[in-house]
Structures are given as C-alpha cells and as structure tokens.
Structure 1
Amino acid sequence: MKMGCAAMGSVLVGNPTLTLCGRMQCKTLSPLTSRSMNQVRHFIQSLWHAALHAPGLGVVLRAMRNYILHQSANQAGSLAFSSVLAMFPLLILLSASAGYLGKPGDAADLVSRVVGYAPQMVRDVMQPVIQQVIAQRNQALLAVGFLVTLWTASSGMQAIRSALNRAYGIERGMPFWKARIKVTLFTVVVGAGILLAFSSVVVMPYVWLVLAENLGAGKETLWLRHSVRYGSAFLVLVLLYALMYAWLPDVRARLLTVLPGAVVGAALWVGAAATLSYTLRTAGNLALIYGSFAGVVATLVFLYISATTLIFGAEINGVLRAAAAQRRVPLE
C-alpha cells in the first residue's frame, strides 16, 4: 500500500482518472462520475438561486432567513409573555365595564361563555374573581384595572414596535417618551380590533346556534360555519395587522404597501387558531406530559405562534421594502 496508489485526491499522469485512497483500498472515480457530481452541485445551486429570485417563493424564503437572523423568535416569546400579563386584567376590566352598561347578571353570563373556552384550571381561578368584580361595581378597581391593563398592553405593543423596526432594518427610532405615547394611544385602537377578532372566533358559534334553530342550518353546512367564523376573523386581522405595520414602526409606510405582509400574517393566524382548536380537543394527550397544565401550555403555544405570525408578516414587508429601495437606486 506504500506505492499502490497516489495521495488522496491526486490525478494520475497518463490516466485521467480521479483516485481516492482509503485506509485499506483505493477507489478511482472516472471523469464521468466527477463531472456528474459537479453537475448535481451546480443544479442545486441554480435551483436555490432561482427559488430566491422567484416572485412569491423568493420573498418567503428571504423573510424566513431574516426572521432567523433578526432573532425574532425571542421577540415572539416576549410578546407571548406580555399577552399573558394583559389577558386576565383585560378580562376583569371588560367584565366590570359590562356590569355598568347592563344588568350584572347579563354581564356575568356573557363573561362565563367567553371564559368557558379557557382551560378548567383557569376557569376555576378566574370565575370567582370576575363574579366578585361584577357584583361590587368598584369604581376604584375599574380605574386601577384600566391603568394596569393599558400599561401592560402598551408594553407588549412596545415589544411589537421593536420587532417591526428590526424587521424593517431600523436601528435607532424615536425617543422613548414619544414611542411610549405612540404605543399607548395605538393600544386602544388595537384592543378594539383584538376584541372584534376574538369575538368572531368565539361568539360566532352562538350566532350559528341561533341560525340552526331558526333556519335549519345543521351539520351538513359545517364548512359554511367554519368559513364564516374564521373568514370574519381573517378580514379583521388583515386590517389590524396592516394598521400595526403602517403606523407602529418608526418609518412612514402606506397602508397598501403593507397589505402583503398583513394578508400572510392573518392567514397564518387563522391556521394557528384552527390548529389550537384541534389541539384543545385532543388535550388528553398533552396531559400525559404536562398534567393539569396541558391547557395552559396549549394556550401559551398558541400565543407564541400568534406573535410569530405578526412578526413574520413584518418580515415579508421588510423584504418587499428592501427590494423596492434597490429598484429606486440609480445604476452607476
């Protein structure tokens, strides 16, 4: 074996074959095999280059790459945590406000239906507190709850603003106090949109029940029920996402220019909502691992995925914005 073969990767003179030496024997690759390997490698590179420059697929691939480079997964976790902090104070605030608008019993019944979609452990904790708030009609608690909820929700909106700035390539934005006022005012608008989207997903089954009793809509039109339920949520979310993409970042953007990311983000959210419904129906499997926290874990995962859809839609707009900027730059 000392003189039996050339060094690894050497080309023998007079015999144009590629010789590869292992520990026990030498393998010779013919020029045809070497050429085939180069052709395969060149084909893969060409395919990847073509995918990056495809009108639709290229935007998605570049957005996925930027999502990883911008460490947006950490931002999504921060948004999910802020949502958890704001969720229950907001629910108490809404139930207390409903008590002033109508009969306390009606408010408690409405809140019970909404909380009925939460896991059993969450219902056991929240239901007594909600009933107590509605019964007491404490104005001080209402004011404190509003301030706490507004501050917590605006902190989450500030995290969204930072994530959107990163997606748009903005390194330094406006001063802190201006940004805080901006996100606080916008929180009120976004809160109304979130309530509309949430009600379209949660309240629509009760609307469909009334239609089924009066119009005879049954199981054979199940697809129509889901279409109306998630379709209305999709339209509301497209508008909500577009408003956030256009107004929250520290850069001016027209509403029409951010619609592509809003459509993608809203579509991903609707898919995540449908996945959550399936997950909660099969929560018994999660209970084998997480026990009584299975529903809580599923909710946290859903909130994380929801934040991911929001940030990914911004990455879509960031890629389109960068491409438009390159087209505007004159060639030298």
Structure 2
Amino acid sequence: MSRLRASLDVAAIAAQRFVAHDGWAIASHIALSILTSLFPFLILLAALAGLFGSKSLADEAGVLIFDAWPREVASPIVGEMHRVLTEQRGGVLTLGALLALYFSSSGVESLRVGLNRAYGLREGRPWWLTRLESIAYVVCGALAMLAFALLVVLGPLIWRKVLDVAPGLEPLSLTVAIARIAITATLIAVVLVIAHKFVAAGRRSFAAVLPGIAVTLMLWFLAGLGFGYYLDRFSSAYASTYGGLATAMVFLVFLYWLAAMFLFGGEINGTVIAARRRRLQAKMQARQAEARPL
C-alpha cells in the first residue's frame, strides 16, 4: 500500500512539473517537428536503401514505423508513405538527401528541448554540435530501420525454407507474425532508452530512466487503443471540422498526445532522480552533523 501511495505521489509531482515546464507547449512543438521531419526521414531512408540496391527495403522499413499505431491513424499515412518511397527522384543522394537529413534531425532536437526541461538541465554545448549529434542519431536510426526491415523481409523467406526441410514445424508459423510485433516493440523501446540516456544533456543510468520509459510505453499502449476506438466511432467529426485536412489533423493530434506522454515519462524520471538526490544530500548532512565534535 505504501509503495502504491509513493507511486501516486510521484505521478502527482510529475504532473505538476509537466505543467510548470510548459509540457503542453513543448508537446505541440515535438508533434509539429516530427510531422515535418517524418517524410524527409523517409526520403533519406529511400536514398540509403538505394545504395544497397533495394528501394523496397525502405518501404518495408517505413511500414515498421507504423506497425504499432492504430489502423485509423496509420492507414492514410502509410498510403502517402508508399508514394514517397516509390517515387523516382533525380539527385536525391546529393542536395536532396542533405536537406532531408537536416530537416529530419529537427525531430531529435525537439525531443532534446523537452527532455532537458523534464530533467531540469540546461544544454551547455554549442548548437552546431548538438545538431551534428542529432544528424548522427538520424543516420544511425535509418540504418537500424533498414537492418530491422531486412530481418522482417528475410524472416518469412527463411521460414519457408525451414518448412520445406521440416514440414512438422508448420504449427509454429504464428511465430513469424509475433516476431514482427516484437521487432516493432524493440525498436520503440530502444529509441526511448537512447532518448532518455543520451539525447538529453548529462548522462543517466539505465535504472534511472527505466521508470519513465515503462510509464511512457504503458500510456502509449492505452493511447493507441483509446484513440483507435475514438476514431472508429467519431472520425466523421474530424472530417466535418477540417475537411480535406482531416487526415493530417488526426495524425498531428495523435502525435501531440504521444509527445505529451513521452514528456510525462521524462518528468517521472526527473521527479525520482530529484527525490533520490535530496535523500542523498540529507544523509550526507546527517553524517557531517554526527562527525562534528560536540
């Protein structure tokens, strides 16, 4: 019971910190930055996949991004994504790729701003250094997406070869579908760990960022279910309000809530770290007081 009470107290303090740190405004900044950087990132993904001789690999990697999203949100975006990734672009590996790389790194920069506020830190490095770091994260992320996509593409092919040799394993075919979901979940978890440990200023241990990551994943899961249920029944409200922009607005609103939950997870970690720091300082002061001569 005391642990539950302590968890509720941490959540309440984190909510107060979220409001004090302008969490709603930062969440809108993150959502808009991700919206504007998503398709440049997909263009970069296609360019890198072209270097390996398979643009379909970029398409598969793009699908992986939206695998965990509600169908009502992801379906219209996936359609546009297929068009972007299959369109021929002359010179995309030169100036276009450089611009896509720069604009897609803005999404990382927005996460940095939000996490620094959540952890109560100030970025002391020059802007160009953090921007280069964000670009490095984008490139590494794109290569990781292509690697995961290669596993997803090769997985069924390898499985069919295995079944040809050992037909008795046919009942285990569900494993392939489960593996795809596991890959998507792994990608999300890895991105959250990297964001909390390395994107924000300073360094934190894995144990220090784990509570916020767990809260974020839980909230994202509930948001996916809830938002999908809402759109399934009330999607006409967006269409009547925003007309032809309904798809973009649904996507932006969903990103907004995901960003707010992500920042709240950072506030959870910031609250726990601050509480541990205060307890440590109190213990040190108590020991110093005991060590003083009477």
Taking structure 1 as the reference length, what is the TM-score of the superposition?
Answer: 0.64
More helix by share: 2
Residue identity in the other structure for 1:316: I
Alignment of structure 1 residues 1-332 onto 2, 5 Å: 54-102=5-53, 106=56, 110=60, 118=74, 120=76, 123=79, 130-133=85-88, 138=90, 140-171=91-122, 173-191=124-142, 232-282=183-233, 283-329=235-281, 330-331=285-286
TM-superposed CA distance for 1:78, in Å, is 1.0
Judge which range, 278-287 or 265-274, deviates more.
Answer: 278-287
Q: What is the distance in 1 between the residues matched to 2:95 and 2:246?
A: 31
* Aligned-residue identity in percent: 28
TM-superposed CA distance for 1:60, in Å, is 0.9
Q: What is the distance in 2 between the residues matched to 1:103 and 1:237?
A: 24
Judge which range, 87-96 or 254-263, deviates more.
Answer: 87-96
Q: What is the distance in 1 between the residues matched to 2:119 and 2:214?
A: 17
Cα distance change on mapping 1:129 and 1:70 into 2, 3 Å: closer
Q: What is the distance in 1 between the residues matched to 2:119 and 2:212?
A: 12
Cα distance change on mapping 1:255 and 1:132 into 2, 3 Å: same
Root mean square deviation of aligned Cα: 4.0
Q: How many residues align?
A: 264
> Is residue 18–residue 264 contact of structure 2 (8 Å, CA) maintained in 1?
yes
Q: What is the distance in 1 between the residues matched to 2:194 and 2:258?
A: 16
Flag structure 2 segments of 5+ consecutive residues without an equivalent. Answer: 161-168, 290-294
Cα distance change on mapping 1:234 and 1:59 into 2, 3 Å: farther
> Is residue 261–residue 317 contact of structure 1 (8 Å, CA) maintained in 2?
yes
Q: What is the distance in 2 between the residues matched to 1:79 and 1:195?
A: 24
TM-superposed CA distance for 1:247, in Å, is 1.1
Q: What is the distance in 1 between the residues matched to 2:144 and 2:49?
A: 18
Flag structure 1 segments of 5+ consecutive residues without an equivalent. Answer: 1-49
TM-superposed CA distance for 1:299, in Å, is 0.9
Cα distance change on mapping 1:108 and 1:255 into 2, 3 Å: closer
Secondary structure of the residue aligned to 2:26 is helix
TM-superposed CA distance for 1:95, in Å, is 3.1
Secondary structure of the residue aligned to 1:250 is coil
Q: What is the distance in 1 between the residues matched to 2:277 and 2:42?
A: 43
Deviations 1:175-221 (CA, angstroms, capped at 9, x unpaired) = 32332233332333445567799x7xxx89x97xx99xx95799xx9
Q: What is the distance in 2 between the residues matched to 1:280 and 1:225?
A: 29
Tell me the equivalent position of 2:163: none
Taking structure 2 as the reference length, what is the TM-score of the superposition?
Answer: 0.71
More contact order relative to length (CA 8 Å, sep ≥ 6) = 2
Secondary structure of the residue aligned to 1:243 is helix
Q: What is the distance in 2 between the residues matched to 1:108 and 1:232?
A: 16
Deviations 1:42-77 (CA, angstroms, capped at 9, x unpaired) = xxxxxxxx9999321111111111000000111111
TM-superposed CA distance for 1:327, in Å, is 0.9
> Is residue 242–residue 258 contact of structure 1 (8 Å, CA) maintained in 2?
yes
Q: What is the distance in 2 between the residues matched to 1:322 and 1:312?
A: 15
Residue identity in the other structure for 1:79: I
Q: What is the distance in 1 between the residues matched to 2:58 and 2:275?
A: 52
Larger radius of gyration between Structure 1 and Structure 2: 1
Cα distance change on mapping 1:233 and 1:57 into 2, 3 Å: farther
Q: What is the distance in 2 between the residues matched to 1:131 and 1:226?
A: 25
TM-superposed CA distance for 1:320, in Å, is 0.7
Secondary structure of the residue aligned to 2:120 is coil
Q: What is the distance in 2 between the residues matched to 1:227 and 1:108?
A: 21
> Is residue 59–residue 82 contact of structure 2 (8 Å, CA) maintained in 1?
no
Residue identity in the other structure for 2:280: R
Deviations 1:131-176 (CA, angstroms, capped at 9, x unpaired) = 332xx5x3x2123333222212322212211211111112453232
TM-superposed CA distance for 1:120, in Å, is 4.8
> Is residue 29–residue 110 contact of structure 2 (8 Å, CA) maintained in 1?
yes
Secondary structure of the residue aligned to 1:56 is helix
TM-superposed CA distance for 1:261, in Å, is 1.0
